[in-house]
Structure 1
Amino acid sequence: MTRSTVSAGGAGSSVASGVMNSYNKPYLETNQLLDLLESRGISLSDRAEGASDLRRLGYYRLSAYWYPFRQRLPGHTEGKDIPGDNVIGGYALKDFVDLCDFDAVLRNIILAAIEPFETSTRALVADQVGRRGAFTYIDKAYWGTAADIAAKGNSGLTQYEFFCQKQSDQLLGSKETFATHFRKRYAGPLPIWAAVELWDFGMLSRFYEIMAPDDRHAIATRYGLTAASTFQGWLVSLNDLRNFCAHHSRLNRRHFPNLPRIPGNIPAFRDIRRVQDRDPHRLYSLLCVLAYVLLQLNRPNHWQAVVVQHFTIPPASSCFHLKDYGIPQNWLHSPLWSTGK
């Protein structure tokens, strides 16, 4: 198949001029959408299969996969001008469906790694802070100066007030057996070893950020890190990744805003630092962090093997490229992945 630089929509577009238009595109039936795709350069090898794919995945979800291949005219500014409607390169709808399905399996693979990491980190936080007392986690003195920092958003609450309110709401609203039992038998908040079981990943990450420095360091050390700030960044990055996966978002060519810091003193990460310098915001560095933390938890290498298999037996799609996930050509030489071959 021929390849061209993808693009159109240049300086005269409404986005470029700053003029906002009202949305006025009509609803189209499935067959009309198939006609539209063909008119825009996307071929259909089997119209019935194409209709089934649109009903299964949705036109709009799939459109994110062909967006990079839409025509871009000379003078186009990426992120500012809107590309043209036509897709160039001779692609079929099946190419983009295969990419979408590949991502769906990949999301489940990633979630399978995040679960033991999140569970382990909850347990470590509960153990570390619980040593100080069952309710130290909601003692304002433990929070120090972080207690009075304004919470994100427009709640008008401090971080401490917002956390305590959310913790109370979680206890009152939870239908977990242990929470129901606690409400019937005790007054007041949950001890931390029970409270962490109601926290989502984001709440866990925010609490780690305010923990006492020696507590933060103790947990970071468990994952082989010398800097608690590095582990804090990993929590933020992996929480973002977890949310993208849980909400069935595209991973192919995705820009991940919160880049995990890759420590230079860990031999397994040496090659990843060079990759991150070239294409920092793709998925690969996050996959490497997950592979590393699973090794620190003494988990079997099964997960790494599944990742390796998924990417070394790629979809038949002609628009699939490892670089769209930030994966370098020699990635299997890394000690993080050579164990998974």
Structure 2
Amino acid sequence: MDDGMEIKEFKTFEEQVAKLVEHGCENITSEEYAINILKRINYYRLTAYFLPFRDEKTQKYNNNKISLEKVYSLYQFDSELRLLLMEYLEDIELYFRTQIAYHHANQYGALAYKNSQNFNKFHKHEEFMENLEKELSYRRKDPVYKHHQLKYDGEFPLWVLVEFFSFGMTSKFYADSLNDIQSIIAQDLKLKTTQVRTYLEVAVVLRNYCAHYGRLYYRSFTKIPRQLPSFMTENIKIKNRLMAQLYAIKQLYGDNEKWNKDFILRLRALFTKYQSSIRLYHLGFTNDWEVVLKK
């Protein structure tokens, strides 16, 4: 083993609590309270929520601004936020599966996805077919899979096949479709094809963060939507934070009424519930965020 690389020592829950205090989080109700939290949430995961309160030079937490309750509250806020977003990202994913299957099959036929000529020049057909095989092999026990193996000799029309697509595959299928298909789908959302492609890529990454319990609070996203309002583009602390991501999601969301009357209201309620712990600017949100995110 390379001596230069020192792996950190294992620490008991008691030692983890002592480490939090040592790093500047002195405001802890009791050791028992702290251990209770650390038994449920990995220390490494929890400490990510201390980031907004860490001094760059000393790497210590600002003791005046921090308490374990507050950080735990941020953690809970983040969990609820992910659940809310997942619901809307699921709607978008299922909408796009339906759209690509319908229009591609309508234009070229049920099994036309097997022919690389029915895609544009960016399409890597072998890779696409391999990914399909992979997804199908995961689902061998699925009744839909079994039914098509028995009854249709293992042939899957596109409108069945999309049910096995990951969101990434759905996004890629859209981007690789010929322009007429991309245009029909984009027009329905009153968007340009370039917008749909870039917003979909953002949605896929955001969905993966949510599905794998990734932190959204105080997160700088690397996949930044293009074609944002100028006030977002000009400010890096807005551009690479959550509000810009939600601007992209808004564009892809087809049901205006549900977005305005359900999503916006639930997001506002969530902000209100956790208002003593969260700071909207840590999410890149401006005071007029409701106006910006309304459809």
TM-score where L is the length of structure 2: 0.90
Distance 1:110 1:335 in 2: 14
Distance 2:250 2:223 in 1: 18
Distance 1:208 1:24 in 2: 44
Listed as ranges, the matches of 1:54-203 within 5 Å are 54-73=38-57, 84-90=58-64, 91-131=66-106, 132-147=108-123, 159-174=124-139, 175-203=141-169
2:207 equivalent to 1:242: yes
CA-to-partner distance for each residue in 1:44-102, whole Å, 9 max, x for gaps?
A: 122211111111112100111113433323xxxxxxxxxx4421242111121111111
Distance 1:62 1:186 in 2: 50
Structure 2 counterpart of 1:98, one-letter code: S
Structure 2 counterpart of 1:330, one-letter code: D
Q: 2:220 aligns with which of 238, 247, 255?
A: 255
Distance 1:324 1:26 in 2: 32
CA-to-partner distance for each residue in 1:105-164, whole Å, 9 max, x for gaps?
A: 1000000101111111110111110112001122111124334xxxxxxxxxxx200111
- Answer yes or no: is the 8 Å Cα contact 1:124–1:219 preserved in 2: yes
2:266 equivalent to 1:306: yes
Aligned to 2:258, the other structure's residue is in SS state coil
Listed as ranges, the matches of 1:323-338 within 5 Å are 323-334=281-292, 336=294
Moved more, 52-61 or 35-44: 35-44
2:215 equivalent to 1:232: no
Distance 2:293 2:117 in 1: 43
Moved more, 88-97 or 122-131: 88-97
Structure 2 counterpart of 1:303, one-letter code: F
Query: Structure 1: which 5+ residue stretches go unaligned?
Result: 1-19, 74-83, 148-158, 264-271
Q: 1:221 aligns with which of 182, 187, 191?
A: 187
Distance 1:333 1:122 in 2: 30
* Deviation (angstroms), 1:188: 4.7
Q: 1:316 aligns with which of 267, 276, 287?
A: 276
- Answer yes or no: is the 8 Å Cα contact 1:244–1:250 preserved in 2: yes
Distance 1:299 1:86 in 2: 43
Aligned to 1:254, the other structure's residue is in SS state coil
Distance 2:24 2:136 in 1: 54
* Deviation (angstroms), 1:201: 0.1
In structure 2, relative to structure 1, the CA distance for the partners of 1:21 and 1:307 (3 Å cut) is farther
2:170 equivalent to 1:204: yes
In structure 2, relative to structure 1, the CA distance for the partners of 1:327 and 1:97 (3 Å cut) is same
- Answer yes or no: is the 8 Å Cα contact 2:171–2:200 preserved in 1: yes
Distance 1:137 1:298 in 2: 34
In structure 2, relative to structure 1, the CA distance for the partners of 1:302 and 1:196 (3 Å cut) is same
Q: 2:231 aligns with which of 242, 261, 274?
A: 274
Query: Structure 2: which 5+ residue stretches go unaligned?
Result: none
- Residue 28 of structure 1: aligned partner: 11
Distance 1:89 1:221 in 2: 53
2:244 equivalent to 1:285: yes
* Deviation (angstroms), 1:316: 3.0
Distance 1:144 1:95 in 2: 51
Structure 2 counterpart of 1:133, one-letter code: G
* Deviation (angstroms), 1:220: 0.9
In structure 2, relative to structure 1, the CA distance for the partners of 1:315 and 1:322 (3 Å cut) is same
Percent same amino acid among aligned pairs?
24
Aligned length: 286
Q: 2:253 aligns with which of 274, 286, 294?
A: 294
- Answer yes or no: is the 8 Å Cα contact 2:13–2:39 preserved in 1: yes
Q: CA RMSD in A?
A: 2.1
Higher helix proportion: 2
Structure 2 counterpart of 1:142, one-letter code: N
